[in-house]
Amino acid sequence: MVIVFLSKFFRMRLLENQKFENERAIVRVDFNVPLNKEFQVTDNTRIIAAKPTIQYILSQGGSCVLLSHLGRPEGRDPKLSLKHIVNEVSRALEAPVQFCDQTVGPEAESRALALEAGHVLLMENLRYSKEETYGDEAFAEQLARLGTVYVNDAFGTAHRAHSSTTIIAKFFPKNKCFGLLLAKEVNAINKVMKDGESPIVAILGGAKVSSKITIIESLLERVDHLIIGGGMVYTFTKALGGSVGKSICEPDLCNYALKLLTKAKAKGVEIHLPVDVIAGDDFSNDSNIKVFEADNIPEGWEGLDAGPKSCEKFHKLILNCKTILWNGPLGVFEFSNFAKGTISIGKSIGEATKAGAFSLVGGGDSVAAVKQLGIAPKMSYISTGGGAMLESLEGKELPGISALTN
């Protein structure tokens, strides 16, 4: 399914079409995982997500040289060494994993050349070398010496024109391909933005309109319904003449919000705002709580979640849609007293998905929400790439994708 769909949009070689027998595959993975104070991996989701690609290459008689970054180190910060995750990667892959404390150079090349078929070698943190984030061609050429085939399976960094995600691909004009995870990510986004079954609804949360302008503009070209949640609500509400109390608001964007509403109407897109909100008299889980009409919040109060009438309204809408995109919680879900709107939306999407809709969840906060609420299994697909997914939704070309299709 993934192969057929992606082939309609990209001239590229997919993993299944690439020969791996007796080849060393350089696999760019995204193992930028959280570590605790004991340097133990606390969430191995990204490691598990790369497992199918690595296992496929090994099953075809190849070996894997894994490249990844971890955090944003200043020089060779030992706290951000990938040696801390070797055991977790080995457990996830159910296979031994070797480690090299270099990324490029004679030792790195020697270790890679000695790698036998069926074996895995994890190189040190790419960002120990500042050249990586600069997109340095000489550094990319050194990385390319580590293997004979290049596979990008790191959607989370596909929006960065870094040496290991973009520049390296030019050294493999015929031997480069999408990893299975990267293909699934692009397929899921295309299923919303290019091939989604109508009615299509996008649910956008977030504190500020200014951070979602490009996404909103792009979605107006694609969706039938747009639900606005989070702090963005109050800029739209104020623009429409409502009272928002001390809710987060961007008054300088009120005129722009009105233009968006006008543009949406002209395109036949219905924008849905909450009709009521759960408000607090302080930005705290312990604040006093009241429910107000969304356009009539008194001074001294701030909207912190979608209200019960809004949730009921959104529920009915979501159940009538065939394609659903969710990016951003509806309220301050980190506070249990203001998480009901986000929980409700998640349950509604889960119910719609069970009934046959396709649902895509992406963006750090919304992904965190579905995991925290235990509803992740009810979604069709959860994106592993925050920034990359957002730029995809904005309609931007991702350098890491383009490098594989040129």
CA angle 343, 348, 349 (to 5 degrees): 100
**Is the pLDDT higher at 1 or at 29?**
29
- Considering 118, 242, 387, 395, which one is annotated as catalytic? 387
**Is the pLDDT higher at 385 or at 269?**
269
d(CA 242, CA 281): 18
207 contacts: CB under 8 Å, gap ≥ 6: 230, 231, 232, 248
Predicted confidence (pLDDT) at residue 10 exceeds the cutoff of 60: no
140 shares its domain with 202: no
| Residue type at 116 in one-letter notation | E
194 shares its domain with 170: no
Predicted confidence (pLDDT) at residue 5 exceeds the cutoff of 50: no
pLDDT, position 371: 81
Q: Are 50 and 153 in contact (CB under 8 A)?
A: yes
For 245-255, the pLDDT digits (tens) are 999 999 999 99
232 shares its domain with 368: yes
pLDDT, position 11: 58
197 shares its domain with 137: no
For 14-32, the pLDDT digits (tens) are 899 999 999 999 999 999 9
The rounded radius of gyration (Å) of the Cα atoms in the chain is 23
CA-closest candidate to residue 129, choices 98, 106, 104, 148? 104
CA-closest candidate to residue 185, choices 222, 149, 153? 153
Residue 148 lies in a domain: yes
170 shares its domain with 292: no
- Considering 208, 263, 309, 322, which one is annotated as catalytic? 208
363 is catalytic: no
Residue ranges making up the domain that contains 222: 189-393
Domains held by the chain: number: 2
Report helix angle 254-266 to 232-239, nearest 10.
80
Predicted confidence (pLDDT) at residue 3 exceeds the cutoff of 80: no
174 shares its domain with 220: no
- Average pLDDT for 172-199: 91
196 shares its domain with 227: yes
Q: Are 33 and 156 in contact (CB under 8 A)?
A: no
Residue 354 host element (H or E): helix 340-354
Residue ending a domain, among 148, 181, 214, is 181
How many of the other CB atoms lie within 10 Å of CB of 125? 24
Pairing status of strand 276-280 against strand 302-306: antiparallel
The token pair that represents 282 in the structure block: 């302080």
107 shares its domain with 195: no
pLDDT, position 286: 94
Predicted confidence (pLDDT) at residue 9 exceeds the cutoff of 60: no
Residue 50 lies in a domain: yes
208 is catalytic: yes
The token pair that represents 36 in the structure block: 């605790």
DSSP tag of 390: H
d(CA 111, CA 165): 21
- Considering 24, 28, 46, 176, which one is annotated as catalytic? 46
Pairing status of strand 243-244 against strand 200-204: unpaired
Residue 324 lies in a domain: yes
168 shares its domain with 289: no
193 shares its domain with 259: yes
pLDDT, position 4: 33
262 contacts: CB under 8 Å, gap ≥ 6: none
**Residue 191 Cα to chain centre, angstroms:** 15
46 is catalytic: yes
For 82-136, the pLDDT digits (tens) are 999 999 999 999 999 999 999 999 999 999 999 999 999 999 999 999 999 999 9
Residue 214 lies in a domain: yes
Instruction: Write phi, then psi, for 252 (nearest 5 degrees).
Output: -70, -10
- Average pLDDT for 229-236: 95
d(CA 316, CA 294): 19
Predicted confidence (pLDDT) at residue 354 exceeds the cutoff of 50: yes
For 36-86, the pLDDT digits (tens) are 999 999 989 899 999 999 999 999 999 999 999 999 999 999 999 999 999
d(CA 226, CA 57): 41
- Considering 71, 118, 242, 364, which one is annotated as catalytic? 364
Predicted confidence (pLDDT) at residue 280 exceeds the cutoff of 50: yes
3-state DSSP: the chain helix, strand, coil percent, rounded to 5? 45, 15, 40
193 contacts: CB under 8 Å, gap ≥ 6: 218, 222, 392, 393, 395
Predicted confidence (pLDDT) at residue 313 exceeds the cutoff of 60: yes
pTM value?
Answer: 0.85
139 shares its domain with 194: no
Report the CATH number that the domain containing residue 236 is assigned in CATH: 3.40.50.1260
Residues facing 244 on adjacent strands? 297
- Average pLDDT for 141-164: 95
CA angle 328, 331, 337 (to 5 degrees): 140
pLDDT, position 12: 55
Instruction: Write phi, then psi, for 268 (nearest 5 degrees).
Output: 80, 20
pLDDT, position 1: 30
Predicted confidence (pLDDT) at residue 353 exceeds the cutoff of 80: yes
| Residue type at 36 in one-letter notation | N
Pairing status of strand 149-152 against strand 200-204: unpaired
> In angstroms, how far is the first alpha carbon of the chain from the final one?
23
Predicted confidence (pLDDT) at residue 2 exceeds the cutoff of 90: no
Residue ending a domain, among 181, 205, 230, is 181
252 contacts: CB under 8 Å, gap ≥ 6: none
Predicted confidence (pLDDT) at residue 171 exceeds the cutoff of 90: yes
Residue 402 lies in a domain: no
Residue ending a domain, among 181, 215, 237, is 181
Task: Determine if the peptide bond prior to 308 is cis (ω within 30°).
Answer: no
d(CA 69, CA 87): 17
pLDDT, position 6: 40
